[in-house]
Structure 1
Amino acid sequence: MVGRRRLRIRRPPSRISEGSSRKSGEVESRTGGGAERSSGWRRQGAHVFPREARKNGWVYIKYRGTLGRRLRYAEIARGCLSWKKTPRRRTLERLVLDSCQVAEGDDQELLLTTAGKTIILRLQNKSLRDEWIRCIQRASSDVMDHYFIRGKLIGRGSFGEVFLGTSIDTGEVVAIKTVDRRKISSAKELEFVRREIDIARLLYHRCIVRIHDVFDESDKVHFVMEYLGGGDLFDAIAEENHFSEKIAVDIIRDILEAVAYIHEKNIVHRDLKPENILCCSKTWPYNVKIADFGTARRSQECEVSSDRSMMSTFVGTPYYMAPEILAGREDSFPVDMW
């Protein structure tokens, strides 16, 4: 019996970024992109990892330059440090921890400097002191490393790298895309990720990859995303060579549900392809989800913008482009169906 011939499937070239020419378009990778400053951004309606640092207990407190220290019940909550004589008594003092500085002191002490004042907190032991230092650091900053442990590199793009990550609070595994601002050379590149963030705020669907959180630091932006361990649909197609009708129906149904959802939100993806469809598992059921909204547009933007070419720019991946994009005509919802 003659065995079935296995086809060799090659991954097509990456997509062409918006604003590029047809002959020499700038290529943007799946994990590339830039970002505008968006500090404090949160997705509405989606799961967001806990960002609020909390701690309470008995500590000795004194201001630097004063004599003696007092035993107080201290609490860190809602970005503030407060203390009382007892847990049920009124608050004696409250300090906002925004942009404060914290450092180790002698033995069991920590030094907290904020608003021109230095406060010395003495804990029961060194281990407890270190816990309070970490909690104060988290309450006073927007640093990703205070919330997630970054693991191995799992992907790389033009402007960023994707790492496996773990939530310090919950232990949940995530994907962390880190974008280096120093590698972004134009305002157009910044626009790609800014638009992706804005659109992601509107989307919450089981067939769309979720962005849980965004950390905006001085020279880097970290996108904390849902981690899908099954790779992309292109790899699944290359591995299986062909799908049964049932599996194909399941995959197409999930994709169409996601496309119908974003179209209801007046959003056009404009770069749907197997590489931008991720799988939850490497075997059936794949439970695919649409990702990468860097070239997406809200359809009404072309109506309110003075730029009439907004929905007729040359974007996407050549092998998957709809005819109207290749022809330079105005594009809309049908390009996602192509």
Structure 2
Amino acid sequence: MLSIRDLTVRYRTSQGPVHAVDSASFSVPRGEVVGLVGESGCGKTTVARAVMGVVPRTADILGGPVLFEGRDLIRLSERERRALRWKEMAFIPQTAMNALDPVYRVGRQIEEVLVERGGRSRSQARARAEELFALVGIDARRLDDYPHQFSGGMKQRASIAMALALEPKLVLADEPVTALDVIVQRQVLDVLKELQARLRLSVVLVTHDISVVAYACDRVVVMYAGRVVESGRVGDVLERPRHPYTMGLNNAFPDLERAAGELVPIEGSPPNLLDPPKGCRFAPRCPFAEARCVAEEPPLRTEVDGHAAACWRSDEAAALRPLAGEAATWRR
């Protein structure tokens, strides 16, 4: 459905160019959910916005291609991209409370999409809006309410309904459950999973929460400092990570076998993307870094099982994983 190859997004700033996304490559198979995970500022949201073509004016989309069903999105004109939005590909924003217009009734906002972009009459749009609310588990009578009358979970469900209004094939969801409590998170993810399976959607789920990836995704792409460092099937990547950064992220996932209260943080901070390190960008924080890691950038190598990792020591991953689970390893 979606194939991204060497995508680079550069922001022009007063201090110089910042490569928020640097040569990122991954694919989204038809009918699957792909989780895009990593720390804040690693480029996840920028990737999703670049695919949609809604980056700020200070951003330059370089590299590519970004192929959506064989069409290179980067080479399309704004008019051609606009024709794809809502109808072929849709976006669920990170904060639904900011995405919904506070002075318009929620139903009117969904109807506007159906009339302006879908070419439906007002009566047809109203009927479809009622169907969409039923689809995401909201009473159709709430269509006449304003956003402030909705809870956070209902607002997020309404945003999902709006994204699905014109039956797109690809949905990009930017941290759709971040601002919600864990109970409502589960409810919203269940709605998203059910709709994805029923409608055979392809979904890119942007999140910093690895537990969301484990629960909702088929595949995962791990990003660090603007680059893809690991990707593959969720079970393979989370159970047998080959990159030290993914091993570190796994330590943040609840483990019943680990001593109660024991935390294993990744020490340090991500690099400044105005002047990133020469070799592996994770090397300054990696307890397993060697001289080669500092001097040379590792390529993203894909194994026969489709599991890819950008680490010079990925062949030693089985021996490194137990060490990565110990707090003392990360304090060195």
TM-score norm. by structure 2 comes to: 0.27
TM-score norm. by structure 1 comes to: 0.27
Structure with higher Rg: it is 1
Q: Which has the higher helix share?
A: 2
Q: Which has the higher strand share?
A: 1
